[in-house]
Amino acid sequence: MAQPQSWEQRAQEYSMYGFTDLPSVHERGTVVLTHGEGPYVFDTNGRRYLDSNSGLWNMVAGFDHRGLIDAAKAQYERFPGYHAFFGRMSDQTVMLSEKLVEVSPFPRGKVFYTNSGSEANDTMVKMLWFLNRAEGRPQARKVLTRVNAYHGVTIASASMTGKPYNEVFGLPLDGFIHLTCPHYWREGRPGETEQEFTVRMAKELEDTIAREGADTIAAFVAEPVMGAGGVIPPSKGYFQAIQPILQRHGIPLIADEVICGFGRTGNTWGCETYDFVPDAIISSKNLTAGFFPMGAVILGPELSDRLSAAVEEIEEFPHGFTASGHPVGCAIALKAIDVVMNEGLAENVRRLAPRMEEGLRQIMQRSSNIGELRGVGYMWALEACLDPASKTPFDASLSVSERIANTCTDLGLICRPLGQSIVLCPPFILTEAQMDEMFEKLERALNKVF
Ligand code: PLP
């Protein structure tokens, strides 16, 4: 009789990974997870891991939040599914849209639902292309983003993403233009102050608009803090320098708040932390605290008025997903917003962010191979360097960050290698004691690898 296969063998035989370093998996196997408690997850061997990745930035209330489970259960019993098409939508969808506009930085607005952040970004692009054609500017299709930005994997959102790996798909599409990553530590020139660097970033934007033609550009899309690019906060004054340029040319500024939104930076929105009001917000992940796949485009007053007028003109906006505005997702999102904003989760991030920064700074100071600590709120990265003084990176073939993350996994800590950085973005419920556990395991891993 054939031997029953292990979970690991079954996982590898029948499931395909995305975004996974396959040599690591071939060498180490697959971790198959069964359940979670607070910020911890457990595998099929009963091993416990502190997940300082929050799943994928999204499980901000932990993995077993009672209120979120109850909200989901109650809505599954009441009304398990519906769309937002053909003149119908669920009461939960109506209530969530009101709530999202209420908590947005906009005095008025409108919301469109998707199943993911990628779809929300593609939806935003389609909205702008639709709007520009309707308003007699069909050529206004280009989208400006930045190198290292991450906006998703669908065709437009992958084209917006500023990572070289999309070349394997022949992306980006034409018309998706990537400006310099506003990472002063890495991109600043010798002798250049941070202020001068920001001025240079703004000048690059101005030059790009002049070169491409303002009337060909549909939007500038930016994460307030780049997440999957390696946790890169903008250089000082960045958004204040670029927004007036965009406004002068009538180019909407879209904030991709898929990671930053709902508490990750300590405030409701990343744009609040960096003190600007965009023309629209892209939300996902934390929107449902990871308990349901859902995304949303939240349009500010000007774009929602113009888009509504354009839609009235042709009597329909021909776009949407089967599960757009799913009532269970909306009920969970309503609860998640309440939990994060009113049950002390965002407050916990604000209160403990300085402690997290300090703990990581001490680890950096004790290590001889960390070049930079950067972040805000509960999103931080430590950049590994062969020589921190000269910012010389390790040879990429050494997979240093991958080795650190794998060693952390062995010690019971999940964290993420991104480029040469180790990223820590724990759930907002992380306590002081759990933070200390994270520091202790991370430092042990660094000491083993360096
Ligand atoms: N935008 C940002 C800033 C993200 O970090 C992500 C995912 O990590 C996305 C968009 C894409 O979201 P999804 O993976 O839900 O499609």
Q: Which residue shows structure tokens 């320098």?
A: 241
Distance CA 112, CA 127 (A): 10
* Ligand 1 atom 12, closest CA: 117
What pLDDT score was predicted for residue 61? 98
Of 266, 345, 333, the residue nearest 298 (C-alpha) = 333
Tell the burial category of 156 from Cβ atoms under 10 Å away from its Cβ (0-12, 13-18, 19+). buried
Question: What's the average model confidence in pLDDT over 415-440?
Answer: 97
Distance CA 350, CA 377 (A): 6
Question: What three-state secondary structure class fits 110?
Answer: strand
Question: What's the average model confidence in pLDDT over 249-263?
Answer: 98
- Please give the structure tokens belonging to residue 58: 């999204």
Task: State the CATH class of domain 69-342.
Answer: alpha beta
Average pLDDT for the chain: 97
Distance CA 422, CA 412 (A): 15
Q: Where does 343-387 have alpha helices with state H? A: 345-366
What is the CA(289)–ligand 1 centre distance, in A? 14
CATH number of 31-64+344-449: 3.90.1150.10
What pLDDT score was predicted for residue 21? 85
Q: Quick check: CB of 120 below 6 Å from ligand 1? A: no
- Please give the structure tokens belonging to residue 219: 């939007």
Q: What are the φ/ψ torsions at residue 13 (nearest 5 degrees)?
A: -75, -35
Distance CA 292, CA 331 (A): 10
Angle made by CA atoms 373, 54, 92, in degrees to the nearest 5: 130
Task: Classify the complex by whether its ipTM is higher than 0.85, answering yes or no.
Answer: yes
What pLDDT score was predicted for residue 12? 86
What is the CA(152)–ligand 1 centre distance, in A? 5
SS3 percent helix, strand, coil of the chain, rounded to 5, is 45, 15, 40
Question: What's the average model confidence in pLDDT over 172-186?
Answer: 98
Question: What's the average model confidence in pLDDT over 306-334?
Answer: 96
What is the pLDDT confidence band of residue 347, given thresholds at 50, 70 and 90?
Answer: very high
What pLDDT score was predicted for residue 8? 86
Considering the chain, what percentage of its residues have pLDDT values greater than 90? 94
What pLDDT score was predicted for residue 47? 98
Return the best residue to mutate from 223, 258, 287 for the ligand 1 pocket (most ligand atoms within 8 A of CB).
Answer: 258
Domain ranges of the chain: 31-64+344-449, 69-342
Considering the chain, what percentage of its residues have pLDDT values greater than 70? 99
Beta-carbon contacts of 211 under 8 Å, excluding residues fewer than 6 positions away, are none
Q: What are the φ/ψ torsions at residue 371 (nearest 5 degrees)?
A: -90, -35
* Tens of pLDDT, residues 289-305: 999 999 999 999 999 99
Distance CA 251, CA 216 (A): 10
Beta-carbon contacts of 255 under 8 Å, excluding residues fewer than 6 positions away, are 222, 223, 224, 269, 270, 271, 276, 278, 280, 281, 282
- Please give the structure tokens belonging to residue 17: 């990974």
What pLDDT score was predicted for residue 1? 57
Question: What three-state secondary structure class fits 246?
Answer: helix
DSSP string spanning 208-239?
HHHHH-GGGEEEEEE-SSBSTTTSBPPPTTHH
DSSP 413: E
Distance CA 169, CA 166 (A): 5
Return the best residue to mutate from 146, 161, 260, 285 for the ligand 1 pocket (most ligand atoms within 8 A of CB).
Answer: 285
Residue 9 has pLDDT above 60, yes or no: yes
What is the CA(150)–ligand 1 centre distance, in A? 7
Tell the burial category of 288 from Cβ atoms under 10 Å away from its Cβ (0-12, 13-18, 19+). buried
* Tens of pLDDT, residues 26-47: 888 899 999 999 999 999 999 9
Residue 255 has pLDDT above 70, yes or no: yes
What pLDDT score was predicted for residue 398? 87
DSSP string spanning 30-62?
---EEEEETTEEEETT--EEEETTHHHHT-TT-
What pLDDT score was predicted for residue 22? 87
Contacts made by residues 86-92, CB under 8 angstroms, sequence distance 24+: 89/325, 90/325, 90/327, 90/330, 91/327, 92/327, 92/328, 92/330, 92/331, 92/334
* Model pTM above 0.95: yes
What is the CA(258)–ligand 1 centre distance, in A? 6
Of 106, 107, 74, the residue nearest 91 (C-alpha) = 74
What is the CA(6)–ligand 1 centre distance, in A? 32
Distance CA 235, CA 369 (A): 23
Residue 157 has pLDDT above 90, yes or no: yes
Residue 4 has pLDDT above 70, yes or no: no
Q: Which helix (H) or strand (E) holds 178?
A: strand 176-179
Q: Quick check: CB of 300 below 6 Å from ligand 1? A: no
164 HSE (CA, 13 A, CB side) = 1
What is the pLDDT confidence band of residue 2, given thresholds at 50, 70 and 90?
Answer: low
What is the CA(46)–ligand 1 centre distance, in A? 30
Question: What's the average model confidence in pLDDT over 334-339?
Answer: 98
Q: What are the φ/ψ torsions at residue 280 (nearest 5 degrees)?
A: -160, 160
DSSP string spanning 420-432?
TEEEE---TT--H
